[in-house]
């Protein structure tokens, strides 16, 4: 209100009273303005004593041109897309939030988050529901309300992890640090749900203490807070002599039985569980425990260690045994000097043979490789010698320790060399494997050095054993067998593919080949001369609801519409026939004047089958009590089998009303249709009166 100068006295001190809507000069008292247009909110009492506001708040950042008339709830009245999004988001937040019993402050905060999200374009590619839920959960976390993500997913029937993903993303993008969940938050809520009556508070306090104890004992990291709460509440309830079974608790807390039991056993392992109830209330133990999974891991580690030690000991024992074995052999050899000489010659033969064998299994023809072989063989031989010497050494000390017999170290020493080769024969497998391994690593190393990126995709065939690869490929006969099996197994799929191809080829020939993209057909304009006709046709096209009392509807236009419809029947019939056949592979013909009646009877599309189209007919399963003006004979013939299927024969005389047949694509809906029919059938006996 601009302060003006008073006309009479010239004073500029003007008092504007918003309530009265008047501007008065305080100097001389003259009224300068009356009935000022005010921007206050007025209240009006409506019917039933409900007071409502007059006028509306127009948002400052909305579109400039939005004059919202009337109730102002028109969402899509020429608003910008952004405003629409925000408005619809706000509505959904209100809806969800009220289901969660969040207060207005939280909802406003959630809406602010949502606005941020929209401005950062994070709603793109995500379902609005998920985004809204994530915003709400963010608020819950920041405010510390006892709502779980599970609750939200329950309400929306969406997988928790999907919501969680969205939530995490939003939190990251908006740089909101949601504080970690404290299980203590959930206790009062669950306690309330478990109905402890007067003692709810006490039980909650006990459960709280338990949870705090669990926290100290490191039971709560990495676990769902609801599981801990469940365990704590169960124990607390028992402590206060309430009988709550595991089932009750899990239905409230939403974890499964196994989890709860596990938590209980873990708690059992802590020293706190050994205290009595009174002690627990009074004393707080100082020591803390390791988390249970840590102890389990440590336990495992200990077991492993033990096993390792055992294995080592076993090895040692084996080593000793082999030493004894060697000694025995040497003794035997000593007793047979001739054989020894032959044996030595034999061993000499074996050694080169062995080398040849080993060399033949390797990949061919490169000098590098043969050199590698030689070196690796040497290496392994040396290695073996070392090992054996060690063993012998051990054996020596062991012998000296244990055996009474004096073993001659010299004999042992002399026998080491001829020993080497037989052992290498015995241990023949080891070196070859080691050698292959070494070779491979050498090869890959060499390969990597020599400009590894194969020039335009030449396949490096080094060390790919062709023989091995051959094993991966089946031979002719196996291929046949497999082909047969596969064909049998996938027969359906193959058939489908064939049919599809045939269909496509046919359509291509006909020139009506349509691309696979779904085209949403525009609603065809209904051409009708009267309102009644229009309604009829509309009813034809649309799927019918079972909640409308069609009798009334029919009566509304039945009297006026019937004479005009009869004339327009035949031409319309053709047109509709064509339309129908193209659209839904339905073969039946429409009888428009009865279509209204027809469509009355049940949920689905009802069609009367005429004699002319001879396409496939499904056996009539549902009958409606509709009379037919034209062509009663053919329908009567069809009516004969139908009586069997009629559930409500009583109300409908089968002879006069022809059956309405239906081509059902899904049988499940049939039962629904039948029941709807029954409902409607029971409703009105007026159907019999039709025509």
Binding site for other proteins (CB under 8 A): 148-150, 160-161, 164, 167-168, 171-172, 175, 177, 180-181, 218, 221-226, 269-271, 287-291, 293-295, 297, 440-441, 444, 454, 456-461, 463-464, 466, 468-474, 479, 482-483, 486, 490, 493
Question: In this complex, which beta carbon is closest to other proteins, that of residue 157 or of residue 633?
Answer: 157
Are the C-beta atoms of 526 and 538 separated by less than 8 Å?
Answer: yes
Question: In this complex, which beta carbon is closest to other proteins, that of residue 268 or of residue 307?
Answer: 268
Q: How far apart are CA 347 and CA 349, in angstroms?
A: 5
* Shortest distance in whole angstroms from residue 213 CB to other proteins: 14
* Shortest distance in whole angstroms from residue 229 CB to other proteins: 12
* Shortest distance in whole angstroms from residue 517 CB to other proteins: 20
* Shortest distance in whole angstroms from residue 459 CB to other proteins: 5
The burial class, CB within 10 Å (0-12 / 13-18 / 19+), for 407 is: middle
* Shortest distance in whole angstroms from residue 493 CB to other proteins: 6
Are the C-beta atoms of 225 and 207 separated by less than 8 Å?
Answer: no
* Shortest distance in whole angstroms from residue 155 CB to other proteins: 16
Question: In this complex, which beta carbon is closest to other proteins, that of residue 290 or of residue 671?
Answer: 290
Please spell the DSSP secondary structure of 509-561, one letter per residue. Answer: HHT-PPPSS---PPPPPPP-SSHHHHHHHHHHHSPPPTTS-HHHHHHHHHHHH
* Shortest distance in whole angstroms from residue 531 CB to other proteins: 51
Are the C-beta atoms of 240 and 202 separated by less than 8 Å?
Answer: yes
How far CA 324 is from CA of 248, 311, 426, in Å, comes to 68, 20, 17
Q: How far apart are CA 263 and CA 214, in angstroms?
A: 10
Q: Which two tokens stand for residue 50?
A: 């409900």
Phi and psi at residue 400, to the nearest 5°: -60, -35
Separation of CA 559 from chain center:
56
Question: In this complex, which beta carbon is closest to other proteins, that of residue 284 or of residue 400?
Answer: 284
Question: In this complex, which beta carbon is closest to other proteins, that of residue 252 or of residue 660?
Answer: 252
* Shortest distance in whole angstroms from residue 270 CB to other proteins: 7
* Shortest distance in whole angstroms from residue 360 CB to other proteins: 20
Q: 93: how many CB neighbours lie within 10 A of its CB?
A: 24
Question: In this complex, which beta carbon is closest to other proteins, that of residue 397 or of residue 483?
Answer: 483
Question: In this complex, which beta carbon is closest to other proteins, that of residue 52 or of residue 450?
Answer: 450
Question: In this complex, which beta carbon is closest to other proteins, that of residue 8 or of residue 361?
Answer: 361
Sign of CA dihedral 556, 562, 563, 568: positive
Cβ-Cβ contacts under 8 Å for 300 (sequence gap 6 or more): none
Question: In this complex, which beta carbon is closest to other proteins, that of residue 113 or of residue 550?
Answer: 113
Q: How far apart are CA 112 and CA 166, in angstroms?
A: 17
Q: Which two tokens stand for residue 294?
A: 């840590």
* Shortest distance in whole angstroms from residue 300 CB to other proteins: 11
Gyration radius (Cα) of the chain, Å: 46
Question: In this complex, which beta carbon is closest to other proteins, that of residue 181 or of residue 535?
Answer: 181
């Amino acid at each position: 209100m601009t302060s003006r100068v008073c006309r009479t006295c010239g004073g500029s001190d003007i008092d504007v009273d918003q309530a009265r809507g008047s501007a008065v000069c305080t100097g001389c008292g003259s009224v300068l303005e009356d009935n000022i247009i005010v921007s206050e909110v007025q209240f009006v009492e409506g019917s039933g004593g409900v007071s409502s506001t007059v006028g509306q708040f127009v948002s400052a950042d909305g579109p400039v041109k939005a004059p919202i008339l009337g109730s102002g709830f028109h969402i899509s009245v020429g608003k910008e897309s952004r405003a629409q999004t925000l408005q619809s988001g706000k509505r959904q937040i209100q809806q969800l939030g009220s289901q969660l019993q969040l207060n207005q402050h939280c909802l406003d905060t959630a809406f602010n988050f949502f606005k941020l999200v929209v401005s950062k374009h994070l709603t793109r590619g995500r379902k609005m529901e998920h985004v809204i839920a994530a915003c709400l959960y963010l608020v819950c976390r920041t405010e510390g309300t006892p709502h779980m993500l599970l609750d939200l997913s329950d309400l929306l029937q969406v997988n928790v992890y999907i919501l969680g993903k969205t939530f995490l993303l939003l939190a990251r993008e908006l740089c909101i640090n949601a504080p970690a969940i404290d299980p203590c938050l959930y206790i009062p809520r669950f306690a309330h749900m478990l109905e402890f009556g007067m003692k709810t508070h006490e039980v909650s306090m006990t459960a709280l203490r338990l949870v705090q104890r669990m926290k100290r004992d490191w039971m709560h990291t990495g676990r769902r807070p609801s599981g801990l709460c469940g365990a704590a509440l169960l124990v607390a309830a028992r402590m206060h002599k309430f009988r709550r079974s595991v089932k009750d608790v899990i239905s409230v807390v939403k974890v499964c039985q196994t989890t709860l039991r596990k938590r209980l056993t873990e708690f059992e392992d802590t020293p706190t569980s050994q205290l009595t109830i009174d002690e627990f209330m009074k004393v707080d133990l100082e020591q803390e425990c390791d988390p249970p999974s840590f102890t389990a891991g440590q336990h495992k580690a200990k077991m492993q260690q033990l096993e390792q030690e055992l294995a080592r000991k076993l090895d040692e024992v084996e080593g000793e045994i082999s030493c004894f074995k060697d000694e025995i052999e040497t003794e035997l050899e000593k007793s047979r000097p001739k054989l020894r000489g032959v044996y030595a010659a034999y061993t000499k033969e074996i050694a080169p043979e062995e080398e040849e064998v080993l060399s033949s299994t390797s990949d061919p023809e490169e000098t590098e490789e043969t050199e590698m072989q030689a070196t690796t063989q040497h290496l392994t031989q040396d290695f073996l010698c070392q090992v054996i010497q060690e063993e012998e050494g051990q054996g020596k000390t062991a012998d000296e320790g244990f055996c009474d017999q004096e073993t001659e170290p010299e004999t042992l020493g002399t026998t080491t060399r001829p020993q080497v080769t037989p052992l290498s024969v015995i241990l023949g497998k080891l070196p070859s494997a080691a050698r292959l391994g070494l070779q491979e690593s050498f090869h890959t190393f060499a390969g990597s050095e020599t400009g590894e990126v194969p020039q335009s995709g030449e396949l490096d065939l080094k060390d790919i054993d062709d023989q091995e690869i051959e094993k991966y490929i089946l031979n002719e006969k196996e291929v046949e067998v497999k082909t047969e099996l596969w064909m049998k197994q996938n027969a359906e799929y193959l058939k489908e593919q064939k049919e599809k191809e045939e269909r496509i080829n046919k359509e291509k020939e006909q020139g009506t080949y349509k691309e696979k993209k779904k085209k949403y057909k525009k609603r065809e304009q209904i051409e009708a001369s009267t309102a009644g006709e229009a309604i009829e046709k509309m009813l034809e096209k649309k799927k019918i609801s079972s909640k409308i009392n069609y009798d009334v509807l029919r009566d509304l236009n039945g009297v006026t519409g019937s004479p005009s419809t009869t004339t327009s029947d035949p031409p319309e019939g053709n047109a509709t026939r064509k339309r129908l056949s193209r659209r839904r592979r339905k073969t039946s013909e429409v009888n428009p004047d009865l279509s209204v009646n027809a469509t009355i009877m049940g949920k689905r599309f009802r069609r009367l089958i005429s004699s002319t189209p001879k396409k496939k007919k499904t056996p009539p399963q549902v009958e409606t009590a509709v009379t037919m003006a034209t062509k009663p004979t053919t329908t009567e013939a069809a009516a004969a089998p139908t009586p069997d299927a009629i559930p409500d024969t009583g109300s409908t005389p089968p002879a006069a009303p022809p059956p309405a047949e239906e081509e059902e694509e899904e049988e499940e809906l049939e039962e629904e249709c039948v029941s709807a029919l029954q409902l409607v059938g029971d409703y009105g006996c007026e159907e019999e009166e039709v025509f």
